Structure formats: structure tokens, C-alpha cells
């Protein structure tokens, strides 16, 4: 049997860990030695926060972890205040090694009825919230030369979903965020990946039959997430679908495409070549925007040489 993959000495923040998927991640990491910040503001699925007489969900999960012999502290801030969540980790445990951006809400509504508030709230919790926690942890991770970040997407974002234009936009946006952090963090051993989970939680119990909710236990998603935030994980910038014991990786595909000269590039020629433009027979798997730039540069060079000029050089961006 292979050695147990452990998290001793590591400090993990799991957002929205008072229920569902986040709770399962917090339990698994704590069981394997991580010190965990259990963040949850204790709102409803649609994001309302009301005063409650019952114990706060983050406290409940912290107690569960302590009973199992693990180490955890609670944090009740909204993910929009990521700095406060990271401060809880630093105050309690001195640092942060792992951020699992999991907190989420729904505001499902058709486009024709959507309000700006439905849109803004989803952006705030999912996109701004994931950014805010990662941003507050980022410089700590850079300085120590170690970090693991997970962002939570959804099949709604990857494929689109009726009545979820706000949620889908935020969820696919999170994978763009992941891919950029993966590139920026690479040299400092900061790895960032995205998951699109499927699990029976309060978020899905209203749209799934009871038997399916029970079959899709959050615990079946947690092992992938734990592996992705482990020291030994080779993956960076990737997207995984996961649920009910099934794990797979998704990626983009690019058709071979058609390179038009500026003279040939007419609406009629686009129409005439349409079947070639959308033909994936000789498709490639791009991993950066440089792949496409190479093709485009050929055209720019050809156009420049026709005019007897040197083509402009494409330099890799290197922001401070
Ligand atoms: P859940 O509703 O059981 O748990 C989400 C937790 O996040 C709740 O405890 C809630 O209080 C907390 N939360 C909400 N807004 C917060 C905020 N601003 N700050 C801090 N905590 C906040 O939902 P579930 O299913 O566990 O979802 C976890 C993540 O997985 C979400 O990002 C969700 O969008 C995503 N997801 C879930 C799927 C599923 O099948 N359950 C499918 C695709 C994505």
C-alpha cells in the first residue's frame, strides 16, 4: 500500500466550510494533519444572512474536527473580506499554505427577469470572494515559495445552464483566474487548479431527487481536492470535473482553423470556409495564447514583408 498523503505542518483555509463540500474538505485535511481555518458566514443558499439562534455552522465544523483529534479555528467573515480570513489563519497558525475557494451561493433566474442585484451578488461572492482570499494569501505564499489554491467552478460555467447566466459567468471566470494564477505562481511553487464538482448538498437538494443527493456525497469530491493541494501534486492551471467517484480533466480544443491573407479576408470567404473553420479533425490542444499568436504572426510578417518592412515583435508580457 502506498504511504498516506499527509498535511502535517500545513495551514489550510477552506471557505464556505460550514456545510456541504467545504465541510468535507475541512474534515479530510484536518484528519490528515492540516491546521484548518473553517470559514463560513452562515448564510442561506441565495446569500441572505439572518440572525440565528442555532450555533454558527463554522463553529459546528470546528467542534467536529476537534472531536476527531484535529486542529481548526472558525472564521465568520464573508469571502469578500479575504484579508480578514487570512488574518485568522496567520493569527492562529502563523501562515497559510492552502486556500480552497469553495464558498458559494445561487441566484438562479432567467435572463429576462435578472436584476443587477442578482448579477452583482453572484460576482461578489464567487469572483470577488475567490480573488480576495487568494490575494490576501498570495504574498505570503510567494515569500515562502509554497502555495496551493483551488477555485470552484461548475458544469454550469463550462457548458452554460438555463437560468444561471450570472452563476455560469462567474464560474467560468474563476477558471480564467486559475489559469492566470497558475502562470504567475509557477516559479514560486504556487499551484492553482479548478474543480467543477457535483454533490448532494443543500445547494442541489432542491433540484435533485433525494436518492441522488444521497448518492452524490461531498466526501466523494474531497479526495481529488486533497490531492490537488498536496505537496506532491504535479498539476497546475487545470480543470477537473468530479462527483460520485468519477474524476476527469477538461481542456480546450482548437480547430485547425483557416489563415486568411488580409486581401482574402472577406465576409463571403468566411462564409465559404465555415466548415473548415469549425472542423476539429486536425484540432490541437492549446495551452497558452502564444500558440495562436504564432499563426497570427505569420500573417503579420507576410503583410510587413510585402511592404518591405520588418514585422513588429511579439514580446512575452512581464508586469511588475
Ligand atoms: P452549500 O450551500 O452546502 O455550501 C456553501 C457554503 O458557503 C455555505 O455553508 C454558505 O454559508 C457558505 N457561504 C456562502 N456565501 C459565503 C460568503 N460570502 N462567505 C463565506 N461563506 C459563504 O453548497 P455546496 O454545494 O457545498 O457548494 C460549494 C461550492 O461548490 C460552491 O462554490 C458551489 O457553487 C460549488 N458547486 C457545487 C455543486 C454541487 O453539485 N453541490 C455543483 C457545482 C458547483
Domains of the chain: 11-250 (3.40.50.720), 252-320 (1.10.287.4290)
What's the pLDDT tens digit per position in 167-209? Answer: 999 999 999 999 999 999 999 999 999 999 999 999 998 888 9
- The residue nearest atom 6 of ligand 1, judged by CA position, is 16
Mean pLDDT of the chain: 94
Q: How far is the CA of 284 from the centre of ligand 1 (A)?
A: 35
Task: Tell me whether residue 25 is one of the annotated catalytic residues.
Answer: no
Q: Which residues contact 197 (CB under 8 A, 6 or more apart)?
A: 21, 152, 154, 221, 241, 242, 243
For residue 315, the model assigns a pLDDT of 65
What's the pLDDT tens digit per position in 236-264? Answer: 999 999 999 999 999 999 999 999 999 99
Residues 62 and 39: their CA atoms lie apart, in Å, by 10
What's the pLDDT tens digit per position in 90-119? Answer: 999 999 999 999 999 999 999 999 999 999
Q: Which residues contact 307 (CB under 8 A, 6 or more apart)?
A: none
Strand partners, 14: 38, 100
CB of 79 sitting under 6 A from ligand 1: yes
Residues 130 and 82: their CA atoms lie apart, in Å, by 8
- The residue nearest atom 38 of ligand 1, judged by CA position, is 198
Atom number of ligand 1 nearest to Cα 202:
3
- CA distances to 36, 106, 244, 285 from 25, in Å: 10, 20, 15, 31
CB of 18 sitting under 6 A from ligand 1: yes
CB of 130 sitting under 6 A from ligand 1: no
Atom number of ligand 1 nearest to Cα 155:
43
Average pLDDT over residues 282-305: 81
Catalytic residue from among 25, 76, 146, 167: 167
Atom number of ligand 1 nearest to Cα 198:
40
Helix (H, G, I), strand (E, B) or coil at 167: helix
Atom number of ligand 1 nearest to Cα 18:
9
What's the pLDDT tens digit per position in 118-165? Answer: 999 999 999 999 999 999 999 999 999 999 999 999 999 999 999 999
The interaxial angle of helices 129-144 and 82-93, nearest 10 deg, is 40
Q: How far is the CA of 3 from the centre of ligand 1 (A)?
A: 32
For residue 147, the model assigns a pLDDT of 98
DSSP codes joined into one string, 247-313: EEEE---B-------TTT--HHHHHHTHHHHT--TT-B---SHHHHHHHHHHHHHHHHHHTT-PPPP
Amino acid at each position: 500500500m502506498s504511504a498516506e498523503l499527509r498535511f502535517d505542518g500545513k495551514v489550510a483555509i477552506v471557505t464556505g466550510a460550514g456545510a456541504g463540500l467545504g465541510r468535507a474538505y475541512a474534515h479530510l485535511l484536518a484528519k490528515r494533519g492540516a491546521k484548518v481555518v473553517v470559514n463560513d458566514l452562515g448564510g442561506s443558499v441565495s446569500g441572505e444572512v439572518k440572525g440565528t439562534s442555532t450555533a454558527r455552522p463554522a463553529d459546528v465544523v470546528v467542534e467536529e474536527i476537534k472531536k476527531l483529534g484535529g486542529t481548526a479555528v472558525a472564521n465568520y467573515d464573508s469571502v469578500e473580506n479575504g484579508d480578514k480570513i487570512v488574518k485568522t489563519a496567520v493569527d492562529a497558525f502563523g501562515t497559510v499554505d492552502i486556500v480552497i475557494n469553495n464558498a458559494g451561493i445561487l441566484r438562479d433566474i432567467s435572463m429576462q427577469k435578472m436584476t443587477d442585484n442578482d448579477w452583482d451578488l453572484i460576482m461578489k461572492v464567487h469572483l470577488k470572494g475567490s480573488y480576495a482570499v487568494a490575494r490576501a494569501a498570495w504574498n505570503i505564499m510567494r515569500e515562502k515559495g509554497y502555495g496551493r489554491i483551488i477555485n470552484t467552478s461548475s458544469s454550469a460555467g463550462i457548458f452554460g445552464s438555463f437560468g444561471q447566466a450570472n452563476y455560469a459567468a462567474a464560474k467560468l471566470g474563476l477558471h480564467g483566474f486559475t489559469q492566470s494564477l497558475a502562470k504567475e505562481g509557477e516559479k514560486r511553487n504556487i499551484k492553482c487548479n479548478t474543480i467543477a464538482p457535483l454533490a448532494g448538498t443543500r445547494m442541489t437538494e432542491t433540484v435533485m431527487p433525494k436518492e441522488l443527493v444521497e448518492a452524490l456525497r461531498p466526501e466523494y469530491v474531497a479526495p481529488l481536492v486533497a490531492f490537488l493541494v498536496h505537496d506532491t501534486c504535479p498539476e497546475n492551471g487545470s480543470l477537473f470535473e468530479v462527483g460520485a467517484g468519477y474524476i476527469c480533466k477538461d481542456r480546450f480544443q482548437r480547430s485547425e482553423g483557416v489563415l486568411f491573407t488580409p486581401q482574402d479576408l472577406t465576409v463571403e470567404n468566411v462564409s465559404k470556409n465555415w466548415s473548415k473553420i469549425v472542423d476539429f479533425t486536425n484540432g490541437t490542444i492549446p495551452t497558452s495564447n502564444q500558440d495562436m499568436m504564432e499563426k497570427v504572426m505569420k500573417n503579420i510578417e507576410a503583410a510587413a514583408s510585402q511592404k518591405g518592412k520588418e514585422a513588429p515583435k511579439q514580446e512575452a508580457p512581464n508586469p511588475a
